[in-house]
A and B are shown apart, each in its own frame.
Chain A
Amino acid sequence: MSGMLQIVFDALSLGSLYALGALGIALIFGVMRLVNFAHGDVIAFSVFALLWPSVDAVALVFAGNLPWFLLIPFVLAMGAGLSVLSELVVFRRFRRASPATMMIASFALGFVIRYFLLMLFSSRPKSISLLPTLSQPIEVLGARIPLLQVITIGVTIAVLIGLTAFLKRTRFGLEMRAAAENFTMARMLGVRANRVIMGAFALSGALAAAIGLILVAQTGTVDIQMGGAVMLMAFIATVIGGLGSLPGAVLAGFLLGAASVVMQVLLPVDARPFRDAFVYGAVILVLIWRPQGLLTARGTKERV
């Protein structure tokens, strides 16, 4: 029973990370048809922003000694800031470019961010102890669950509720949903394109920063590559969910998390090192079955 519960929590917390990442990608895709491959590097950047430049193995934290209620907003602001900056400096020039061109530009931007971090911090992973109290286990229905997992899941649920309320209840949210469905028509109703796009980038960057915080608290290390794995899974989640569909991205994020954890448990011991091959195999099957994704977003679909 407690083993079962442990699996559920593992799946939910891994799925949370993927869901947060997928949301960040889907938000930007929705308003400007850009698949932002620099998203993973925003994850790394927002955490590195806490450190002094150094090549040492132990991170020199300057902002990390802040109390949590200052630390978290600081990291989120870093992610949002970099994301908005990338829109202002890079993506704004590509507004009229094809999605493929924008995607290449995002790859390039990702490399620029990564090598900037490499220059300042070297490629060696650094150990860091942020919010150490979070790694203590707590007792849930007889199972010992790391507090961090509970918090990860809780934060994700809170983000999902908050984002839904924002999109459904505020004017800016309404404008964002309209822009995601038909950007030109939204503009013809006076919706300010730049503001909506910047808003999407800010939200997406803050989500990336949240992932960065969770990853650091989980692993106790920072690494300039740290966003890559999540970014890849998150991207796959947005495709499976139906590109541009926010509920689809979240659903697929959790499904991928669950698939990874369940396969880790169910696969024979010899096959476990190849878990990811099985997960991606399942991805292929899902896409053969539903090439348009699980939930299709309006606006990307042909209208009759």
Chain B
Amino acid sequence: MSLLALSNVTIRYGRLTAVRNVAFSLAEGEILFITGPNGAGKSSLLRAIAGVTPPAGGRIDFAGQDITGRAPEDIARMGISMVPEGREVFGALTIEENLMLGTGMHARISGWRARAMTELEVIYDTFPILKDRRHSQAGLLSGGQQQMLVIGRALMTNPRLIAIDEPSLGLAPNIIDQVYDRLITLRTHRSLTLLIVEQSSTRAMMVGGRMILMRGGAVLLDGDARAMGQSEALQAAYFGYGDH
């Protein structure tokens, strides 16, 4: 059974249709890249899954429940953790406070701090840099460190699915490698399902897994990332329809 299933999802902003009749499903433990040029509707799709922009039509199911139109906090509590584009750290809060926010929903007021502390240790093991700077303001971190922080924060919610929008945006290539290293390790250790949006398909082909290529609000290709890299269909999808 699939963990996440979208059927006929349409997203509109006013009169502009950003996503049209998109359908795909994602199995537990799978890694899925959604790629495509600017304006393909990738981010809109993630925002719809997270409940920030409810779809105008269609249906989204998660773990066997209809989550279409549910509030973002409810969806988060069901196990989807969203890492939005631009990372969105709480710059005025400390790193530790950013992380602790993630655990809030799972514990009662009394047991919260204790639980957060245990979870924090796990995150700090994965991202030692965050531990070193735990009490400094998150806004002062570098882009790469902020990316680590928001991934750590997403993990603190103990999710089944992490949806990440453009994790490599604005980062140096070696930092992107580090970010992906951690993601892949985390996925194997925690049996996480990953949904990653990237503009470029290069990373998907390096990491492997499944890839969906979107353009103009619709799904053009859906298949194995590495196999897709060999085919000419990919270039055609990015650069037009390859009729020259």
Binding site for B on A (CB under 8 A): 170-172, 174-175, 177-178, 181-182, 184-193, 298-299, 303
List the B residue with the shortest CB-CB distance to A175. Answer: B104
In the assembled complex, B101 has its CB within 8 A of some CB on chain A: yes
Query: In the complex where A171-B104, A175-B101, A175-B104 touch, is A193 in contact with B73 (Cβ < 8 A)?
Result: yes
In the assembled complex, B76 has its CB within 8 A of some CB on chain A: yes
Complex: how many Å from CA A191 to CA B84? 16
Residues A189 and B92 in contact, CB atoms below 8 Å apart: no
- A interface footprint on B206-231 (CB within 8 Å = 1, 0 otherwise): 00000000000000000000000000
List the B residue with the shortest CB-CB distance to A196. Answer: B73
Query: In the complex where A175-B101, A175-B104, A298-B139 touch, is A190 in contact with B73 (Cβ < 8 A)?
Result: yes
In the assembled complex, B238 has its CB within 8 A of some CB on chain A: no
Most buried by A among B71, B72, B139, B153: B72
Nearest CB in chain A: distance from B204 CB, A? 24
Can you list the 5 inter-chain pairs with the closest CB atoms, starting with the nearest? A190-B105, A187-B72, A298-B92, A190-B76, A185-B88
Residues B157 and A189 in contact, CB atoms below 8 Å apart: yes
Interface residues of B in 38-73 (CB under 8 A from A): 50-52, 71-73
Residues A181 and B97 in contact, CB atoms below 8 Å apart: no
Chain B residues near A178 (CB-CB < 8 A)? 90, 93, 97, 101
Chain B residues near A184 (CB-CB < 8 A)? 52, 72
Chain B residues near A177 (CB-CB < 8 A)? 90, 92-93, 97
In the assembled complex, B112 has its CB within 8 A of some CB on chain A: yes
Residues A188 and B52 in contact, CB atoms below 8 Å apart: yes
Nearest CB in chain A: distance from B184 CB, A? 23
Q: List 16 A-B contacts (CB under 8 A).
A: A174-B101, A175-B104, A178-B97, A181-B93, A185-B84, A187-B71, A188-B76, A189-B153, A190-B73, A190-B76, A190-B105, A191-B104, A193-B71, A298-B90, A298-B91, A303-B86
Nearest CB in chain A: distance from B239 CB, A? 31
In the assembled complex, B1 has its CB within 8 A of some CB on chain A: no
Nearest CB in chain B: distance from A65 CB, A? 37
Query: In the complex where A174-B101, A191-B105, A298-B139 touch, is A181 in contact with B91 (Cβ < 8 A)?
Result: yes
In the assembled complex, B11 has its CB within 8 A of some CB on chain A: no
Size range of the chain B interface in the assembly: 20 to 34
Nearest CB in chain B: distance from A170 CB, A? 8
Complex: how many Å from CA A188 to CA B102? 9
Complex: how many Å from CA A186 to CA B139? 16
Residues B97 and A174 in contact, CB atoms below 8 Å apart: yes
Complex: how many Å from CA A115 to CA B112? 45
Nearest CB in chain A: distance from B108 CB, A? 10
Query: In the complex where A171-B104, A182-B88, A182-B90 touch, is A187 in contact with B73 (Cβ < 8 A)?
Result: yes
Residues B82 and A186 in contact, CB atoms below 8 Å apart: no
Chain A residues near B106 (CB-CB < 8 A)? 190
In the assembled complex, B190 has its CB within 8 A of some CB on chain A: no
Most buried by A among B50, B91, B101: B101
In the assembled complex, B16 has its CB within 8 A of some CB on chain A: no
Chain B residues near A189 (CB-CB < 8 A)? 76, 81, 101-102, 104-105, 153, 157
List the A residue with the shortest CB-CB distance to B106. Answer: A190
Complex: how many Å from CA A266 to CA B68? 64
Residues A188 and B91 in contact, CB atoms below 8 Å apart: no
- A interface footprint on B94-114 (CB within 8 Å = 1, 0 otherwise): 000100111011100100110
Seed contacts A177-B97, A181-B91, A191-B105; 14 additional CB < 8 Å A-B pairs: A171-B109, A171-B112, A174-B93, A181-B90, A181-B93, A182-B90, A186-B101, A187-B71, A187-B76, A189-B157, A190-B77, A190-B157, A191-B73, A303-B86
Nearest CB in chain A: distance from B130 CB, A? 16
